[in-house]
Amino acid sequence: MSAAIEVKGVRKTFRVKGGLMGKDRHVVACDDVSFSVAEGGVLGVVGESGCGKSTLARLILGLLEPDSGEITVEGQRVLAMDRKARARLIQPVFQDPFASLNPMARISDIVAMPLVAQGTFGRAEIAAKVEEMLERVGLSKEQGTRLPAELSGGQRQRVAIARALVLRPRIVVCDEPTSALDVSVQAQILNLLAELRREFNLTYLFISHNLAVVEHVASDVAVMYLGRFVERQPTETLFAKPEHPYTQALLASVLTPQPGLGVPDVGLGDTLPDPANIPPGCRFHPRCPIAEPRCSVETPPLKPRPGGGVECLLVP
Amino acid sequence: MSALLEVEKLEVTFGGRTAAVRGASFTVERGETHCLVGESGCGKSVTALSVMDLLARGAERRAGRLAFEGQDLRGLSDSAMARLRGNEMAMIFQEPMTSLNPAYTVGSQMTEGLRRHKKVSQREATDRAVDLLGRVGITAPGLRLGQFPHQLSGGLRQRVMIAMALMCEPKLLIADEPTTALDVTVQAQILRLLATLQRDLGLGLLLITHDLGIVARIATRVSVMYAGEVVESAATADLFANPRHPYTQGLLRCVPVPGKTRRDEPLGSIPGTVPRIGPGFEGCAFRDRCSFADETCARAIPRHSAGSTHDFLCRLPA
Amino acid sequence: MKRGWRNAGTWVGAAIVGVAAFCAIFAPLLVPHDPFAQDLGKRLLVPFWMEGTDPQHLLGTDQLGRDYLARLIYGARISMLIGVTVSIVSGLIGITLGVLGGFMGGRVDDIVLFAITTRLSIPVVLVALAVVGLLGSSMTLLVLTLGLLLWDRFAVVARSTTMQVRNLDFVSAAWCAGCSRFRILTREVLPNIASHLVVVATLEIALAILLEAALSFLGLGVPPPLPSWGLMISEARDYMFFSPWVIMIPGIVLFVLVLGINLLGDGLRDTFGARHP
C-alpha cells in the first residue's frame, strides 16, 4: 500500500537578519524530519510554539521549499506538481478563521475559489457544488451571500473546511484548526472533520498543541521538539506508555477535567528552547528532568518501535 | 466576618446597547480559589474588570452589592479605589507583554507599586522583589531585575507578572486567563505555581478561564457563566460529578478526555452559537440551544438550589 | 469602521472637496462671465464686501478686467484635473512597483526598493522646473512630469501593505487552491490594500495641486491665459499692495481646498484603518 504523505530527510532553516551590527542567525524549523502517513490515516503532530510544526505543514502543502530532502504526496513530488493538480490532491485548513478568509470576498466566492482556479468547471456547475458543500458543512445558502465578518468563528471555520473539500482532495493538512475556537464550537468542528474524513476517505495531517484533541482524532502521534520528531507512536501506545521524557512532560501537563487531581509537576525548568540556538547532543537535555552528562554530548539515535520510534539516549 | 469579595446582581452595559453582564452574583471567600468559567463573550472578563473598576469608558456598572472585605466598592472615589488596587487586590492578565511597560526594567516596575503603596525604601523593595521572583520559580532573580520585558520569554513574563501582583501582599488576586497565551507545559507550571502561592499565602484567588481542565484541577468553587449570567455555581467536585444546568452538562461533554472519550464516537456538542443579548432580555438565554427547552423558558427563570452550596438557573426542578 | 464619519472634520473635508469637484465639473454652467473675456475699462474692480463694488462681478475683476469669480471656478477645474490625473499616473507607477516588490520579494523587491530610494533623492521641484524650463510649459507635460515624480508614497504604502497581506492565511489558502499568481494579486491582495491606497491618493492629489500652483506661480506651470490659481496669484503679485484681494482670494481658496482634501484623507484613513488585521 502506498503512503499518502511521504517525507524524507526534510530540513528547513530560516535566516533571521541580525540588524546593523548583529550576525544573521539561522532558525532551524525542521531538522532531518522523515515520516509517512498511510492512506486514510490521521497523523497528529504535537509540540510547543516554535517547534516547527506549522513550517512542516507549509512544506507539505508546497507553500515552502525545503533546504534539502523530499516530500511526496500520493507518490508525486509536491514541488514538481502543477498547481492545479496539487490543489486536487491536498488542501489546508488553517488555525485562525479570521485570517484564513479574504475579508473582502463573499462566502460563496471563497468556497468556489478552488473550482474557479481549475478553469474546467462551468458557472452553474460551480454554483451547485458550492451550495452542496456549504450545506454539507452546515451552512445555509443565504449565509453564502455574506462576508466573513458577518459569521461567527465556528461558522468561518466551516467555510474554510468547505473550501478545502470542494475539490474532493485526498489529503487535508489541518494546522491547529480548533485552537482559536471555544470548547463547544471546537467539539462541533472536530466532529465535522471526523465525519468528513470517513465520508470522503481522507488522510489528515493534524497539527495541534492540545494533546487531548490529538488523542481524540489521530491514529498516530508525532511529538515535535525544536524541529525534530523526538517520538512517534500509534496513539494508544503513546498515551499508554510515553517513552521520551518530553512526551511524558507533555502528557503530564494535559489538564483533564477531573477534580481532585491537582496540577501536576511537569518537571521542566524555566528555560525555554530557542530554535536559533539548538543545544548540542540531545536537544532536549537542558530541560530534561532525567538528563545525564552524556546527553549533552551524544546525539540520540532513532530507536525504532512498531509504527514509529523514539530519539532518546536513556530509553532501551 | 464578611466574605473577601461579594458581588451581587452585577450588571454591565456598553453604551446601553449590549448587556455584557446581566445580574451575575458570586462570592469569593478568604483563601479559596473561585473560578469563573465560560466561553468567549459570556462576560467573565468584563466581570473581573468591573470588580477592579477598570472598565473601558462608555461601560456602565450597576450592582446590588459589590463589597471587598465588607467595604462597599460602588461609592469609592477614584483615589481610594487606586489605593485598593494593586495593594489589597491585584490583577494579572492574559497577555503579560501588554501589561508590562517595555521601557522600564522588571526591577523598577516591580518596586514602584510597593514604594507607592507601602512607603518602603528602594532597598527593602528590591529585597522583596528578589525574594518573590525566587518564589515564583525564577532562577537568577537578581539578573532578571535588570532586564527589560522583551528579554523574557512568555512564561517568564507571566511569572514576573505574578510576582509583581504579590509585591504588596494583596488579599485578593484576580487572574484573567493567565495561561491562555502559553504553551501547555508552561501553563501547567504557572498554574501549579498559582495554586501553591494561593495556599501558602492564604490568598483569595478569582481565576477566569474558558478551560474546564484548569477549573477541575485548581478551583474550590466554580461559577459557570453564560451570556452574562452565572447559570450554575457549586463546589468543584460537586459541579463535575453532578452538573445540573443543561449548559454545564453540554460543556462537560464537549471536552475530549484521553482514555475516556472514544475516537470513533463523536464528542458531545452544543448546537448553535452564543446569542447576542440586549438589555431587557427575558427568560433563559440558553433556550435556543437547549434540548430541554419549551415555551416556559421564555419567562423569568427561578434559581434552584441543589444542596446548600450548589445552585443553578434553570426552570427544570432540582 | 464608521469611526471616520463620526468626526466633523471628515464631513467638512468631504463638503469642501464636493463643492470643488462640482465647480470643476460644471464650471461652464456656473460662471456668470467668460473667464477669458477682458474688459480693460473694468480693471481691478473690488469684491462685494468692499465699497464701490460692481454687482455684476461678485469677486471683482483682475488686472485685465476679467471676472474673478469665473476665473476662480475655472481654476478649480484646472487644479482638480491636475490633482486627479497626476495621482492616476503616479498611482499606476507606484502601485505596480510596490505591489510587485511586496508580493514577489527577493530580487524584485531589492530593485523596487532601490527605485524608491533613488526617487526619494531626486528634488521634485527642481527637476520639474528644469523639465518645464527646457521643454516649455503645457498641461500634458506638467501632468507627466509630476506623475513620474510623485509615485514614491504609493510605492511605499503598496509595498508594505502587500507584504502584510501576502503573509495572511487566506493568501496561503489561495495558493493551495491552485490560483494563479495574477489571480491572487488581483482578487486576494489588491482589494485588501485598496483602502490604504485611496488614502494615499487623497494626499497625492493635495500635493499635486500645491505643486502645480507653485510651478504656475513661477511661470512654469500651465500656460496663460488658463486660469490656474497659482497663475492668478503670480499675476496678482504686482497689484498686491493696492488691491490685496487679488492675491488673497486665490490664496485662501487654494488653502481651503488642500485642507479639505487632507481632512477627507484623515477621515478615510480612520474609516478604513480599523478594518485590517
Q: Are residues B109 and B239 in the same domain?
A: no
Neighbour count for residue A301 (Cβ, 10 Å): 11
Distance between CA B209 and CA B92 in Å, rounded?
A: 12
CA B61 to each of CA A95, B155, C173: distance values in angstroms, whole numbers, following the listed order: 35, 33, 44
In a domain, C228, yes or no: yes
In a domain, B37, yes or no: yes
Q: Are residues B19 and B35 in the same domain?
A: yes
In a domain, B291, yes or no: no
The pLDDT of residue A55: 92
A68-73 β-sheet, strand order: A25-38, A3-16, A68-73, A76-77
pLDDT digits (tens, 9 = 90+) for A215-253: 999 999 999 999 999 999 999 999 999 999 999 999 988
Q: What average pLDDT does this structure show over B53-65? A: 85
Q: What is the CATH number of the domain that holds B222?
A: 3.40.50.300
Helix axes C124-135, C190-217, angle to 10 degrees: 60
Distance between CA A275 and CA B6 in Å, rounded?
A: 47
User: Do the chains contact at A163 and C275, CB–CB below 8 Å?
Assistant: no
Q: What is the CATH number of the domain that holds C131?
A: 1.10.3720.10
**Closest listed residue to residue C230, CA positions, set C128, C149, C148:** C128
Mean pLDDT, chain A, integer: 89
In a domain, C102, yes or no: yes
Chain position carrying cell 512630469 = C145
Mean pLDDT is lowest, of A156-170, A239-253, B224-238, B285-299, for: B285-299
Q: Which of B167, B190, B219 is the last residue of a domain?
A: B167
Distance between CA C131 and CA C88 in Å, rounded?
A: 20
The pLDDT of residue C3: 56
In a domain, B273, yes or no: yes
Q: Which residues of A touch B256 (CB under 8 A)?
A: 187, 190, 212-213, 215-216
| Chains B and A are in contact, defined as 3 or more C-beta pairs closer than 8 angstroms | yes
How far out from the chain centre does Cα B205 lie?
8
pLDDT digits (tens, 9 = 90+) for B1-45: 678 999 988 988 887 777 888 888 999 998 899 999 998 888 888
Per-residue H/E/C for C155-196 = HHHHHHHHHHHHCCHHHHHHHHCCCCHHHHHHHHHHHHHHHH
The pLDDT of residue A22: 67
CA C50 to each of CA A179, C57, C65, C243: distance values in angstroms, whole numbers, following the listed order: 73, 12, 17, 11
The total number of structural domains that make up chain C: 1
Q: Are residues B124 and B255 in the same domain?
A: no
Task: Tell which wins on pLDDT, B161 or C237.
Answer: B161
Q: Are residues B142 and B226 in the same domain?
A: no
Mean pLDDT, chain B, integer: 85
Complex ipTM value: 0.88
In a domain, B94, yes or no: no
Neighbour count for residue A69 (Cβ, 10 Å): 16
In a domain, B35, yes or no: yes
The total number of structural domains that make up chain B: 2
Neighbour count for residue C122 (Cβ, 10 Å): 11
The pLDDT of residue C277: 33
Q: Are residues B77 and B118 in the same domain?
A: no
Q: Are residues B198 and B215 in the same domain?
A: yes
Q: Hey, what's the cell of B259?
A: 482514555
Supply angle C-alpha A250, A254, A255, rounded to 5.
155
**Closest listed residue to residue A257, CA positions, set B224, B316, B155, B29:** B224
Q: Are residues B9 and B70 in the same domain?
A: yes
Q: Are residues B33 and B109 in the same domain?
A: no
Q: Does the pLDDT of residue B146 top 90, yes or no?
A: no
Percent of chain B with pLDDT over 90: 17
Distance between CA A213 and CA A115 in Å, rounded?
A: 31
Q: Hey, what's the cell of C42?
A: 473694468
Distance between CA B297 and CA A20 in Å, rounded?
A: 66
- What's the pTM value of the predicted model, to 2 decimals? 0.85
B275 contacts B284 by C-beta, under 8 angstroms = no
Q: Does the pLDDT of residue C9 top 80, yes or no?
A: yes
Task: Tell which wins on pLDDT, A14 or C59.
Answer: A14
In a domain, B289, yes or no: no
CA of B82, closest CA in chain A: separation in Å? 33
Q: Does the pLDDT of residue C111 top 90, yes or no?
A: yes
Q: Name the residue in chain A with its Cα closest to that of C191.
A: A104
B32 contacts B205 by C-beta, under 8 angstroms = yes
In a domain, C243, yes or no: yes
In a domain, C59, yes or no: no
pLDDT digits (tens, 9 = 90+) for B181-205: 778 888 888 888 889 888 888 899 9
Q: Name the residue in chain A with its Cα closest to that of B154.
A: A272
In a domain, B131, yes or no: yes
User: Do the chains contact at A270 and B183, CB–CB below 8 Å?
Assistant: no
The residue range of the domain holding B229 is 5-88+171-282+304-313
CA of B77, closest CA in chain A: separation in Å? 37
The pLDDT of residue C5: 67
Q: Are residues B186 and B67 in the same domain?
A: yes
CA B30 to each of CA B27, B84, B222, C76, C238: distance values in angstroms, whole numbers, following the listed order: 10, 16, 15, 74, 86
End-to-end Cα spacing for chain B: 31
The pLDDT of residue A97: 80
Q: Is C180 on the interface with A (CB under 8 A)?
A: yes
Those residues of chain A that have pLDDT short of 70 are 1, 18-22, 270-271
Mean pLDDT, chain C, integer: 83
Q: Which of residues 229-268 of A touch B (CB under 8 A)?
A: 235, 239, 249-250, 252-266, 268
Q: Does the pLDDT of residue C32 top 80, yes or no?
A: no
Task: Give the A:C interface size as CB pairs under 8 Å.
Answer: 75
The residue range of the domain holding C191 is 3-33+64-273
Q: Are residues B115 and B238 in the same domain?
A: no
Q: What average pLDDT does this structure show over C235-249? A: 80
Q: Are residues B79 and B186 in the same domain?
A: yes
In a domain, B40, yes or no: yes
Q: Are residues B186 and B266 in the same domain?
A: yes
Task: Tell which wins on pLDDT, A1 or B268.
Answer: B268
> DSSP string spanning A107-170?
HHHHHHHHHHHHS-S-HHHHHHHHHHHHHHTT--TGGGGS-GGGS-HHHHHHHHHHHHHTT--S
For residue C275, name the pLDDT band (cuts at 50, 70, 90).
Answer: very low
Please give the domain boundaries of chain A with CATH numbers for all domains: 3-310 (3.40.50.300)
In a domain, C119, yes or no: yes
Q: Hey, what's the cell of C48?
A: 462685494
The pLDDT of residue C274: 41
Q: Look at residue A183 and give its three-state secondary structure.
A: helix
Distance between CA B221 and CA B230 in Å, rounded?
A: 13
